[in-house]
């Protein structure tokens, strides 16, 4: 397993989810099964991503950058995303507001990603955090070894 820097790992996740949202937006209203499948993929990817950020990345970053406000805002954004994810997962693509909820989730994530990549990550890179070790912990959490 190649070692991955924590920031690189998160940026990779951001790109993958952005691509899924773009695919979703390209589907027609008749593509209900495809919409459901893609929305589920988006929700699962985001759930795993927020989990590793909250359990491993954010606590390390909070201690290193001493910017509690930025970290608090990121946690609140995660809570909003989780709420929308839960609603989307309980709905069917034919229901009112389904597409709107996926669109709002996309916009929320886009805003969150922009803040992380333009504000948080540059600050993190200036710290003495061992981003490779952190990345390895996140990777292990994301893909537990099959025993």
- Quick: pLDDT tens for 52-78: 999 999 999 999 998 889 999 999 999
What is the tally of structural domains in the chain?
Answer: 1
Tens-level pLDDT at each residue, the chain (147 residues): 456 899 999 999 999 999 999 999 999 888 999 999 999 999 999 999 999 999 999 999 999 998 889 999 999 999 999 999 999 999 999 999 999 999 999 999 999 999 999 999 999 999 999 999 999 999 998 887 754
For helices 58-65 and 68-89, the axis angle rounded to 10 degrees is 160
Strand, coil or helix: 126? coil
Domain encompassing residue 91:
6-140
For residue 14, what is the domain's CATH number? 1.20.120
145 is a domain residue: no
Name the DSSP class of 54.
Answer: I
Domain annotation covers residue 70: yes
Residues 6+ apart with CB under 8 A from 114: none
Domain presence at residue 146:
no
């Amino acid at each position: 397993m190649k070692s991955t820097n924590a920031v690189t790992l998160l940026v990779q996740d951001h790109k993958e989810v952005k691509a899924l949202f773009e695919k979703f937006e390209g589907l027609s209203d008749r593509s209900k099964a495809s919409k459901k499948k893609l929305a589920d993929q988006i929700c699962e990817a985001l759930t795993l991503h927020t989990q590793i950020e909250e359990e491993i990345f954010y606590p390390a970053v909070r201690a290193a950058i001493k910017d509690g406000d930025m970290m608090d805002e990121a946690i609140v954004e995660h809570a909003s995303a989780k709420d929308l994810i839960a609603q989307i997962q309980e709905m069917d693509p034919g229901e009112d507001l389904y597409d709107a909820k996926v669109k709002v989730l996309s916009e929320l994530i886009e805003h969150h990603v922009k803040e992380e990549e333009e504000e948080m990550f540059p600050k993190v890179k200036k710290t003495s955090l061992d981003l490779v070790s952190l990345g390895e912990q996140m990777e292990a959490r994301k893909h537990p070894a099959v025993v």
